[in-house]
Amino acid sequence: MAPVAVVANGLSLTFGSGAQATRALEGVDLTILRGEFISLIGPSGCGKTTLLRAIADLERPTSGTLLVNGMTPELARRQRAYGYVFQAPALYPWRNVERNVMLPLEIMGIPRAERRELARRNLELVGLAEVARRFPWQLSGGMQQRVSIARALSFSPSLLLMDEPFGALDEITRDGLNLHLHELWRSTGMTIVFVTHSIPEAVYLSTRIVVMSPQPGRIVDVIDCDLESPRPLEIRDTAAFSAIGSRVRRALHSGTSHG
């Protein structure tokens, strides 16, 4: 099987029409290999979330081709090829933590005993096994987002799509979750596509960083990020880390100043 997870060719997506039309994506070419950790970074309105949503078949491209696991995004979605983590935890407040994690498993018709076991295992993975019986409003924002990650992982998708999952969290919580996510990616071999507007976060997590710019939303640069792995948080103090960060910053500036 080809080791390609996602391919976009000449992908464009326009919202609305006529004078109000917004060209959210234009001429996007991108190939994501299996096992990569790709960050999409750029200012607001650069189309990074739109690209992620198109991969997830939550938005329909206007033109160009987009393949997920070698098939159309719709088919991939129907085969439950990916897990999606939203900007907000989007937990259902009337379900406790365990039942929130079991939600996709219920829909997929997995037997009760197995649901329980999968929920337990994935809550352990994000370090929240002890709050399984609590309700979302009893948890901090960071814990809620970890529950939503456990929920996305519960059915072992090979592709994880994450839309600024840590954007609303404080920096200390965010550091902890970044460390955790990197370990998770390393141990599972999943493909992760991660939307962020934080340069350090992108450099710390990624194998490649896709820099985007707005009006119209497009890719301005793709930067390799070949830091050692595992990555302790202190790696952010090294010269290699700073060098990649500056490249991303320069690409962001060139994108916005000529846009």
CB of 127 to other proteins, least distance (A): 21
Q: Which is nearer to other proteins, 104 or 217 (CB)?
A: 104
Cα(41)–Cα(121) distance, rounded to whole angstroms? 32
Q: Which is nearer to other proteins, 100 or 213 (CB)?
A: 100
In this structure, are residues 161 and 84 in contact, taking their beta carbons and an 8 Å threshold? yes
CA proximity to 39, closest of 167, 170, 176, 171: 167
CB of 174 to other proteins, least distance (A): 20
CB of 104 to other proteins, least distance (A): 5
CB of 97 to other proteins, least distance (A): 10
Q: Which is nearer to other proteins, 84 or 241 (CB)?
A: 84
Q: Which is nearer to other proteins, 23 or 151 (CB)?
A: 151
Q: Which is nearer to other proteins, 100 or 206 (CB)?
A: 100
**Residue 75: partners with Cβ closer than 8 Å, 6 or more residues away:** none
Strand partners, 33: 4
224 is written with which tokens? 């390799």
63-68 and 22-33 beta bridge pairing:
unpaired
**Residue 53: partners with Cβ closer than 8 Å, 6 or more residues away:** 59, 163
In this structure, are residues 16 and 42 in contact, taking their beta carbons and an 8 Å threshold? no
Binding site for other proteins (CB under 8 A): 56-58, 77-78, 80, 82-84, 86-88, 90, 92-94, 96, 103-104, 106-108, 134-135, 137-138
CB of 135 to other proteins, least distance (A): 4
